[in-house]
Amino acid sequence: MMGIGEHNVNPESPLSAQSATAAFDLSTPGVRRRTSKNQWKWWSGLIVLTISGYWAATRIFATPAPTAATASAQADRGVPVSVAKTTLGSLNIYLSGLGSVNAFYTVTLKTRVEGELVKVAFKEGQNVKAGQLLAEIDPRPYRVQLEQAEGQLEKDRAALADAQITLARYEKLYADSVIARQDLDNQRASMIEDRGAVMADEGAVASARLNLDYCEITAPITGRIGLRLVDPGNMVYPTDTQGLAVITQLQPIAVLFSLPEDNLPQIERAMRRGGPLTVEAWDRSFTDKLATGTLLTTNNEIDQSTGTVKLKAVFANPDNLLFPNQFVNVKLLVGTLTNAVLAPVAALQKSPQGSFVYLVRPDNTVATQPVKVAASEGEVSAIASGLKPGDSVVVEGVDKLREGVKVRPRVLRSAAQDSIAQ
């Protein structure tokens, strides 16, 4: 018998299974939805990890590891390097220092007389020649002074002529014993006084003419004139400190530079060999040579505060590339090494034992060759011992080299090699 509320359910019946599922869903609402969502996240993450791992594996194992045969083939080909051949030539030895350009002559134009500036006969920045008219002061007051001085001179000359005639008459009368000796002496003194007055008048006339000449201001030197400092119409005076303009000589021009005192014996020996030493002026970056000149002299003392000695060089400066107060780099030629083995500086390597190069043998293997450097200038070194002309030295790719390594050389033709060839 079945009790009230009981149901006879057949488990094998489809209806019974549906009823059981429905009963479960009704008893735990939302459980099935959360379970499906979590399972979807889990499966999505697993798929992403699987794809990422596959991509990484293909990247890692795509390139096969080099085999022993491959490594042997690369070794047989040799390490690629760039080489240069040493040559036999000459190398100039320079001493370098910092210098400044100085004009040989700098003149500030000033007036020697006071008056109104009525004329300016130059353009600012113009090249002027010695004796060229540059400015003019009002000359009229000085013409009047000249006329007054000339008038006074004529008057005193007449008085002197009368005194000389009277003196001659007195001398004759004194010889005839007509007048006393005192009268003759007084007349002689009067004549000397008149002669002194004439000499003073001549000086006044010369001074007036000089002042009249000073009304025209001319260039005392040849050079370039600067900016005008006074405009026409202004009164100018000899006591003015500013002046009218400044003239600077540019051709020739000087360069003052300093070198360490340790280089002084080398410089003196080079100067005693005869002939002026060549000096080159370069720009600040040592890329453009501005001018070539000669060493004029060295200073007579060493600056103890800096341990340097000052030198002065002269340049013709035909292109006006050197300008007063300009800073330049200076190279002083103190000697030349002739018949020297020249090699690029890039080929030199350093070790605790000294300098060496990687020398390429005929079988394209390298050897570490110790060398002794005589001097270096720019990108070129003179080798005193260790190399001979025609040797091939490695200049690029030395980081992978050691004694006996085979190389694959490539001849390098660079600016340094060109300078060696010269």
Q: Are residues 199 and 228 in the same domain?
A: no
Q: Are residues 326 and 259 in the same domain?
A: yes
Q: Are residues 154 and 201 in the same domain?
A: yes
Q: Where are the beta strands (DSSP E) in 42-86?
A: 79-85
Supply the pLDDT for residue 25.
46
For position 85, which CATH number holds? 2.40.420.20
Supply the pLDDT for residue 55.
62
Task: Look at residue 180 and tell me if it is in a domain.
Answer: yes
Task: Look at residue 273 and tell me if it is in a domain.
Answer: yes
Please compute the mean of the pLDDT values over residues 101-125 and round it to a whole number: 94
Q: What does the alpha-carbon distance between residue 63 and residue 188 come to, in Å, rounded to a whole number? A: 131
Q: Which of 312, 337, 362 finishes a domain?
A: 337
Give tens-digit pLDDT for 139-190. 999 999 999 999 999 999 999 999 999 999 999 999 998 899 999 999 999 9
Supply the pLDDT for residue 332.
95
Give tens-digit pLDDT for 219-243. 999 999 999 999 999 999 999 999 9
Task: Look at residue 116 and tell me if it is in a domain.
Answer: yes
For position 299, which CATH number holds? 2.40.30.170
Assess contact for 317 and 253: CB atoms under 8 A: yes
Q: Are residues 197 and 240 in the same domain?
A: no
Enumerate residues 6+ apart whose C-beta is below 8 A from 278: 292, 293, 294, 295, 332, 333
Q: Are residues 131 and 225 in the same domain?
A: yes
Q: Which of 337, 366, 388 finishes a domain?
A: 337
Q: How confident is the model at residue 409 (pLDDT cuts 50, 70, 90)?
A: confident
Position 212 pLDDT exceeds 50: yes
Supply the pLDDT for residue 59.
58
Q: How many domains does the chain have?
A: 4
For position 186, which CATH number holds? 1.10.287.470
Q: Are residues 306 and 194 in the same domain?
A: no
More confident residue, 3 or 39: 39
Q: Are residues 389 and 286 in the same domain?
A: no
Q: How confident is the model at residue 46 (pLDDT cuts 50, 70, 90)?
A: confident
Among 73-77, 212-216, 304-308, the range scoring the smallest mean pLDDT is: 73-77
* Enclosing domain of residue 83: 79-91+340-421
Position 3 pLDDT exceeds 80: no
Task: Look at residue 60 and tell me if it is in a domain.
Answer: no
More confident residue, 378 or 215: 215
Q: Are residues 407 and 396 in the same domain?
A: yes
Supply the pLDDT for residue 47.
76
Supply the pLDDT for residue 40.
66
Assess contact for 358 and 369: CB atoms under 8 A: yes
Q: Are residues 86 and 117 in the same domain?
A: no
Buried b (16+ CB within 10 A) or exposed e, 229-262: ebeeeeebeeeeeeebbbbbbbbebbbebbbeee
Task: Look at residue 407 and tell me if it is in a domain.
Answer: yes
Q: Are residues 243 and 272 in the same domain?
A: no
**What percent of the chain lies above the pLDDT cut of 90?**
64
Supply the pLDDT for residue 112.
94
Position 69 pLDDT exceeds 50: no
Enumerate residues 6+ apart whose C-beta is below 8 A from 305: none
Q: Are residues 113 and 186 in the same domain?
A: no
Q: What does the alpha-carbon distance between residue 188 and residue 163 come to, in Å, rounded to a whole number? A: 8
Give tens-digit pLDDT for 365-374. 999 999 999 8
Give tens-digit pLDDT for 27-38. 444 444 555 556
Task: Look at residue 351 and tell me if it is in a domain.
Answer: yes
Supply the pLDDT for residue 131.
94
Supply the pLDDT for residue 41.
66
Q: Are residues 363 and 333 in the same domain?
A: no
More confident residue, 419 or 316: 316
Position 60 pLDDT exceeds 60: no
Task: Look at residue 239 and tell me if it is in a domain.
Answer: yes
Task: Look at residue 87 and tell me if it is in a domain.
Answer: yes
The DSSP code sequence of 250-300 is -SSEEEEEEEEGGGHHHHHHHHHTSSPPEEEEE-TTS-SEEEEEEEEEEEE
Q: Which of 161, 191, 214 finishes a domain?
A: 214
